[in-house]
Amino acid sequence: MTKNQSIINGISKGLHIAIGYVPIGISFGLIAKSLGIPNGIIVLMSVLVYAGASQFMAVGLLAAGISGFEIVLTTFIVNFRHFLMSASLSSKLHEKLEEKALPFVAFGITDETFAYISMVKSDSIDTKWVLGLNVMAYLSWAMSTILGIFLSTSLPEIIQNSMGISLYAMFIGLLVPKVKGNRLLVKVTGISILIIVLFYYTPLTQLFASDGWRMIGIILCASTLGALIFPEAVDNLE
């Protein structure tokens, strides 16, 4: 694959994520605006922080008058899962990425870009591909936030409500085809669901101070169990 093909390929994959970000970015702009957050702060948050869930949470806390220290700490906890995602990608792609591009690749790691990059065979990935994908996702997030601010005249509620499902649908669209027909991944998915149920709906839920830590706990436990129970099958994965 030539350099140009790979950047175009990355951009076109990034478009899938970009489409998913539009409704969420618009909702973020709308909600932040309705909470009385200044336009500049709303846009800066999307441009500098670039992490959806933590931004929704932060504008909620800001509007409630919570202290800056608590907001930063909560942001850290909510976003620490990206440490695991970057670690996994670094392990998968260390031979594929150029050293000088790493700070930019890392900035663009979100739940969605991580999910997409993870599900593509590493043969067809290089620095340009990843950057093309990340840039599309990032621009979409920033632009749709701005769009949301100016759409505060409010979209019909029925449309907003149905769009909430879009990112989850994307995660399912990425996960299910991989799991289908792969006995190891069926079992790993089963273990993950079991741990999710244990950590959310039994007294074990008290182990975690917040949903952020809980999600990290789930990923750690499920991956550890899978790696311990099925060592050979995991070695043969992909």
Partner 1 sequence: MIIVGMAFVTYIPRLLPFYAGQLFRRTGFVKRFMKLIPYTALVALILPGVLKATDSIETSLLGLITAIILAYKKCHVVLVILGSIASVLVYQMIF
Q: What are phi and psi of 48, to 5 degrees?
A: -95, -40
Q: Does residue 62 belong to the site contacting partner 1 (CB under 8 A)?
A: yes
Nearer CB in complex with partner 1: 4/209: 209
Residues 209-228 that bind partner 1 (CB under 8 A): 215, 218-219, 222-224, 226-228
Q: Does residue 85 belong to the site contacting partner 1 (CB under 8 A)?
A: yes
Max CA pair span of the chain: 56
Helix (H, G, I), strand (E, B) or coil at 156: coil
Q: Does residue 139 belong to the site contacting partner 1 (CB under 8 A)?
A: no
Considering only residues 83, 98, 124, 205, which one is a binding residue for partner 1 as defined by CB under 8 A?
A: 83
Of 65-73, 121-129, 131-139, 140-148, the segment contacting partner 1 by CB under 8 A is 65-73
Nearer CB in complex with partner 1: 147/175: 175
Cα–Cα distance measured from residue 188 to residue 196, given in angstroms and rounded to the nearest whole number: 12
DSSP 57-103: HHHHHHHTT--HHHHHHHHHHHHTHHHHHHHHHHHHHTTTS-GGGHH
Residues 172-211 that bind partner 1 (CB under 8 A): 172-180, 185, 188-189, 191-193, 196, 200
Cα–Cα distance measured from residue 60 to residue 65, given in angstroms and rounded to the nearest whole number: 9
The conformation of residue 120, written as its DSSP 8-state character, comes to: S
Considering only residues 71, 131, 133, 136, which one is a binding residue for partner 1 as defined by CB under 8 A?
A: 71
Nearer CB in complex with partner 1: 80/150: 80
Cα–Cα distance measured from residue 46 to residue 44, given in angstroms and rounded to the nearest whole number: 5
In whole angstroms, the minimum distance from the beta carbon of 32 to partner 1 comes to 12
Cα–Cα distance measured from residue 167 to residue 80, given in angstroms and rounded to the nearest whole number: 20
Closest CA to 91 of 218, 227, 229: 227
Considering only residues 82, 142, 151, 198, which one is a binding residue for partner 1 as defined by CB under 8 A?
A: 82
Of 25-33, 42-50, 122-130, 140-148, the segment contacting partner 1 by CB under 8 A is 42-50
Considering only residues 8, 102, 142, 146, which one is a binding residue for partner 1 as defined by CB under 8 A?
A: 102
